Amino acid sequence: MKKKKLTTFGKTLFALLIVAAIAIVLVLVKPWDRFKSAAPIETAAASASASASAAPTVDPSQTADYQSRKNTNPDYVGELAFESGLVDQNVVQSTDNDKYLNLSWDLQDSTHGAAFLDYRNTMDDQNLIIYGHFVYLDESLMFSPLHQLKDQANYEANKYIDLKLEDTTRKYLVTDVFYYEMDNENLMYYYTAYSSDYFNTYYTNVKAADFYDTGESLTMDDHWLTLQTCVRDRDDLRLIVLAKEVTE
């Protein structure tokens, strides 16, 4: 009888251990599920809605030139070129936004720096942000010529931009040219993807700040470039040029 009683007790103890183990698993899993469901829904929605981007032009002949520049600098991303020739710069990307402030794309010390893609960007982002210096002593260099776009008379001749990647070219159309006032919470041009709510706030303020009406605009369905450079003698301002991706 004692042997049978011990066997029953063992079974009961084993069952309790199983129940306890299941309870522990549920406790551990549920917070993870809640964490996943609390992910930023608006950001995900912004990325999804922006996925309907214009198809780039495929050009396999670009590969050799791309690879040559990539060999010079592994950080090389592509070539940013206005079709008019207003700006034509090799673009690089580092793990921060400081490396190329005083370093050229081909890794030479230079106060002109290089045009560089924001370190947070991937090429699939809704908003690709590219920075370039304003050169006080020669306004034909780097991103200085972007200031010519403040004059509406220069828009038509300079409204198309090519971004030449390894074997594709993305074409962009300038939609907006404006000054960003530092710390203006309604003009945050530097998000890689936008929630629908903030995009409406942002773009309403962009249109109010534009130097003129280009006749073009952005929507949440677009992918676009943001080009940023400094303003002469105004540390509180940045010149911003927006351009949306378009088909040929």
Task: Give the fold, CATH level 3, of 49-246.
Answer: Sortase; Chain: A; (2.40.260)
- Judged against a pLDDT cut of 60, whether residue 156 lies above it is answered with yes
How large is the average pLDDT for residues 50-72?
Answer: 79
DSSP classification of residue 124: T
* Residue 68 DSSP SS3: helix
- Judged against a pLDDT cut of 60, whether residue 42 lies above it is answered with no
State the pLDDT at residue 73: 98
167 touches 66 (CB < 8 A): yes
Domain ranges of the chain: 2-38, 49-246
**With 0-12 CB in 10 A as exposed, 13-18 as middle and 19+ as buried, what is 151?**
exposed
State the pLDDT at residue 17: 54
